[in-house]
Structure 1
Amino acid sequence: MKTTLTIATRQSPLALWQANFIKDTLQSLYPNLHISLLEMVTKGDKILDTPLAKIGGKGLFVKELENALYEKQADIAVHSLKDVPMVLPEGLTLGAYCQRHAPTDAFVSNHFERLDDLPVGAVLGTSSLRRECQVAHAYPHLTIKSLRGNVGTRLSKLDNGEYDAIILATSGLQRLGLDERIRHELDEALSLPAVGQGALAIECRADDDEILSLLAPLNHLPTRLCVLAERAMNHALEGGCQVPIAGFATIDGDTLTLRGRVGSVDGKTLLKAEHHLTLSHTADDEQAVHALGVAVAQDLLNQGADKILQEVYGN
């Protein structure tokens, strides 16, 4: 029986909250397990003056943590699932998909109550091409500027007057106890969430059966099915984490619905697709949600998503 467990994590306040949340959850399940954190700085944490899309996307936030797993310095790594590339390195797996927190985007401003209130030319900050294309589509009169750094840094830039408003993930603000900064959550009809947004995933070595069995109680089946559908869609679009792709699945009774979007960064084109699946509540569901994700991707490709994405990658 394992007596110690090491969790690899980034050093940002949000990453540490997430790692400690998993640590506390595991500690309550296994009181005799000694759990420690291995805090690391990733390439994505060091390069803060360049938009993520230009330096390789959000996979830059996980590579050092994955190396710690390979070198057996750590047993697991805790990630925001939306930061995890669609294809994992050989020998690693996602051992648990934890229950999803709020998946929405949050509008944050010191002077305006709602996105609708922003005047012509107002400066809106976001690090996400997905948010940028959807907001630009609905509000072409706004000036959208890149916004990098951890949550605290981004809020400081807003408070210093560099932006009139910014958009952040609702779940990140809530996890850090910053609910009061949220003016309102953006409706999914306006800003469909990112693939995996709001969910935590735990990465580990694929051959470590003991760790996989320890993580099993943290798996939340409805979240797992939803995010597997979302990630299958993104993978079929050959999309990374930092692309103008939105994908969000929900379950209502026996019906899983997956909505996907691909947009040009200027907001002029926004393609949409929506498909449904009746769940069988058997082991076949995982294969079925994967096929659903591929079908939504194909629908978007048939509408011209490949041309939009090739242009983004070209830039």
Structure 2
Amino acid sequence: MSISEATIDSMISGLPLPKTTLATLRKDVVDVGVTKKEMEVIIERVMADYEYACVEPCEAVGVVSAQSIGEPGTQMTMRTFHYAGVAEINVTLGLPRLIEIVDARKTPSTPMMTVALVKEYAADREFARNVAWEIEATHIEHLADVTTDLANMNLILDLNEKMLLQRGIGVEAIAEKLEAGLGVKVKIPSEVANQIIVIPKEPLYRDLLQLAKNIHGITLKGIEGIKRVVIRKDGEEYTLYTEGSMLKEILEVEGIDLSRTSTNNIGEIYEVFGIEAARFAIIKEASDTLREQGLTVDIRHLMLVS
């Protein structure tokens, strides 16, 4: 006859086990249903396994962990790989990536994000494309041909109507962004469609050349730091892969599934979610990096050094 939950609680309450282990043990025996004798055997076996798993007093666990991670690390390659079959985006893996993780570098050499869409629209390619344009930083070179008009000492921007429609931005919005970002006068001529004239503060050749250079640094739409977004279909859903990582800003974009969006920039995870999330990210990134190379390291070594 199966014992009651109260009896189970009384039998495991004094056991020197972690809380999670006790909770798992209690749940499993309640679900299965055991007799008192069976419960005693289970407790004896669990305690034996737990004591076997414990580290001996005074053992140099730090040295063992460092050796266990460093030894297989000598077999790792030093290349940059295409990420998950997405040819347009590269990500550093292998030994260089492991060094970045262990050194706790603030910015990885190839920051990138995996952006998941909300389940409701995850299978909609058009929705995925619209979100991608909201994320990817749009600059003037994506939208227009820039001509330096030396006769009138200004810049002429001939906008591509197709690209304006594709990226969802209007002529007036571009003019406002340029005016605010450059601090110059901007004019939209009525006689020519999709054209903007940018006039420097002073009609000087030097200022005009500097303006022609600075205009490319203004982000007209999207998130500064996200250089490129690639859409890929994973199963039935579309996923976005970004070149560049801006976790805080991307989490504010409508249509993003916050619980399934990730970045390889551990420093950003720390700033947005805190130290425990960063620790978990270190464990995951190190484990994934080793596994990708066909190497197996006990996760407890990674948990210790993280």
TM-score band (shorter)?
under 0.3
Please identify which structure carries the higher strand content.
1
Please identify which structure carries the higher helix content.
2
TM-score, normalization: structure 2? 0.22
TM-score, normalization: structure 1? 0.21
